[in-house]
């Protein structure tokens, strides 16, 4: 017996609202459910049912279809349209067996049906299932709220730590720069170690900056300064800045496609190109070709970075754009992204009203793409 069933046994079996304009039917159902351990309230019509549902917050509603003022189907529709009562299971009770009536009820959001004359055992079983489903739903919502709170605490802690790391990192980086500016007296090994330390420190500073920018974008505090941008030219500029890195792996970078324009934040979009190209360089083999293609289609600019890396499994293709997606992949001994770089790309593209994704297949490499609204 799980905790929900234990609660149903130890406490009231549940709160049930019985709605029927016939007093005999109403009393029969109320007495039956009360004898089974339920806490019961009743209503005479659909209008009263809506009021009682908000005030009583039942865990199941038995709702007669044929009633004056407001019939059961309309009452059900309104209950499901109200966020305060939408999750409450509604069981329509009716003497009608016509298929159109059931279809109307389903269209209104009914969860189940009970046919008159009512069978005691059937009523008890269906109400028990409905209450169990409601409590299960509530438990899931509670757990979700807890997870969201934990995620918020984690993000706040991450932001605080990252923000405090920036100042000492800048001091360390400045120290490396001063030492490298006057290398006299350093042997080759010492110089190599300083240069390695400087590069590593700059890499950490870049990660810190990315995390801070991601946090700002997630909270809506990153300003978007839109100006006319020509995407092919921007892609070529990004390629020029990455050629040295690609050259270390003897890779070829190539821009193809047509000229295309959009209104975007030039700096953010430039970083998107650099991140996607850098990701392609990192995960492509030596001697491969990386192609950046720009196209216009259906009023959108489509930018695609095609690499020759290994296939990304389907289960990772969405997770690699998440902030901690790379960490999860590492736990399984795999790594498919630069982590923060792709998260930044997703947030930057979405902030411009665009979409981003990846297409991957064995032997054909990967295509990281994004779409943005085009301008003439």
CATH, residue 246: 3.30.565.10
Tell me how far CA of residue 309 lies from CA of 91, 318, 343, 361, in angstroms.
55, 17, 19, 10
267 in the same domain as 358 = yes
The yes-or-no verdict on residue 343 having pLDDT over 80 is: yes
Q: Give the pLDDT confidence score for residue 52 in this predicted structure.
A: 93
pLDDT digits (tens, 9 = 90+) for 218-270: 777 677 889 999 999 999 999 999 998 888 899 999 999 998 999 999 989 99
Let me know whether 43 and 133 are in one domain: yes
Q: What is the pLDDT of residues 87-144, one digit of tens each?
A: 999 999 887 666 777 788 889 999 998 888 888 899 999 999 999 999 999 999 999 9
Same structural domain for residues 234 and 275? yes
pLDDT of res. 17 = 95
- Does residue 360 sit in the same domain as residue 267? yes
Q: So what's the pLDDT on residue 338? A: 46
Q: Does 248 lie in the same domain as 137?
A: no
- Euclidean distance between CA atoms 246 and 292, whole angstroms: 14
Give the pLDDT score at 304: 95
* Structure tokens that stand for 347 in this block: 């947030």
39 CB contacts (<8 Å, ≥6 apart)?
Answer: 12, 14, 15, 16
Reading the block at residue 320, the tokens are 């690699």
Paired residues of 373 in beta bridges: 300
Q: Which of 142, 177, 198 finishes a domain? A: 142
Q: Give the range of the structural domain holding residue 299, as residue numbers without chain letter.
A: 226-373
Q: Which of 142, 167, 185 is the last residue of a domain?
A: 142
The stretch 332-343 carries a mean pLDDT of 59
Q: How many domains does the chain have?
A: 3
123 and 99 within one domain: yes
Name the one residue in this structure whose structure tokens are 């509530």. 138
pLDDT of 11 > 60? The answer is no
Percent of the chain with pLDDT over 70: 90
Of the residues 99, 124, 142, the one at which a domain ends: 142
| Residue 68 sits in the same domain as residue 90 | yes
Work out the pLDDT band at 156, boundaries 50, 70, 90.
confident
Percent of the chain at pLDDT above 90? 42
Whether residues 236 and 369 share a domain: the answer is yes
State yes or no: pLDDT of 4 exceeds 80.
Answer: no
- What's the length of the chain? 376
CATH number at residue 60: 3.40.50.2300
CA gap 66, 160 in Å, rounded: 60
Residue 272 and residue 168 share a domain: no
Chain segment 49-86, per-residue pLDDT in tens: 999 999 999 999 999 988 888 888 999 999 999 999 99
Among the residue ranges 22-26, 88-92, 322-326, the one predicted with the least confidence is 322-326
Q: Kindly state whether residues 233 and 366 are assigned to the same domain.
A: yes
Q: 152 or 128: whose pLDDT is higher?
A: 128
**Nearest in space to 362 (alpha carbons), one of 321, 314, 316, 303:** 314
One domain, residues 160 and 298: no
Q: CA-based angle 78:80:83, to the nearest 5?
A: 100
Q: Does the structure show a pLDDT above 50 at 333?
A: no
- Report whether pLDDT(330) > 60: no
Whether residue 292 is found in the same domain as residue 360? yes
Decide which of 372 and 326 is more confident.
372
Direct distance between the N- and C-terminal alpha carbons of the chain, in angstroms, rounded to an integer: 65
Full-model pTM: 0.55
């Amino acid at each position: 017996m799980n905790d929900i069933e234990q609660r149903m046994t130890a406490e009231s079996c549940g709160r049930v609202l019985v709605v029927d304009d016939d007093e005999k039917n109403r009393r029969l159902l109320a007495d039956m459910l009360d004898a089974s351990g339920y806490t019961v309230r009743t209503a005479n019509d659909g209008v009263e049912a809506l009021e009682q549902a908000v005030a009583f917050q039942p865990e199941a509603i038995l709702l007669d279809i044929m009633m004056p003022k407001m019939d059961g189907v309309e009452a059900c529709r309104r209950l499901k349209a109200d966020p305060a009562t939408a999750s409450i299971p509604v069981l329509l009770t009716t003497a009608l067996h016509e298929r159109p009536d059931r279809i109307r009820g389903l269209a209104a959001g009914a969860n189940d049906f009970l046919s008159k004359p009512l069978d005691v055992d059937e009523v008890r079983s269906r109400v028990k299932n409905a209450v169990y489903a409601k409590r299960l739903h509530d438990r899931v919502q509670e757990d979700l709220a807890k997870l969201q709170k934990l995620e918020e605490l984690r993000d706040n802690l991450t932001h605080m730590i990252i923000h405090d790391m920036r100042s000492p990192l800048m001091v360390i980086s400045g120290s490396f720069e001063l030492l490298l500016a006057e290398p006299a007296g350093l042997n080759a090994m010492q110089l190599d170690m300083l240069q390695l330390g400087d590069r590593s420190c700059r890499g950490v500073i870049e990660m810190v900056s990315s995390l801070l920018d991601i946090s700002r974008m997630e909270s809506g505090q990153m300003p978007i300064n839109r100006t006319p941008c020509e995407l092919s030219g921007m892609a070529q500029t990004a390629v020029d800045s990455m050629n040295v890195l690609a050259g270390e792996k003897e890779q070829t970078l190539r821009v193809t496609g047509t000229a295309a324009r959009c209104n975007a934040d030039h700096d953010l979009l430039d970083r998107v190109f650099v991140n996607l190209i850098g990701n392609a360089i990192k995960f492509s083999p030596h001697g491969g070709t990386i192609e950046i293609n720009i196209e216009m289609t259906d009023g959108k600019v489509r930018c695609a970075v095609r690499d020759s890396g290994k296939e990304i499994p389907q289960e990772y293709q969405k997770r690699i754009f998440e902030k901690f997606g790379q960490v999860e992949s590492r736990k399984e001994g795999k790594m498919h992204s630069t982590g923060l770089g792709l998260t930044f790309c997703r947030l930057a593209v979405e902030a411009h009203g665009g979409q981003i994704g990846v297409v991957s297949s064995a032997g054909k490499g990967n295509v990281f793409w994004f779409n943005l609204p085009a301008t003439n």
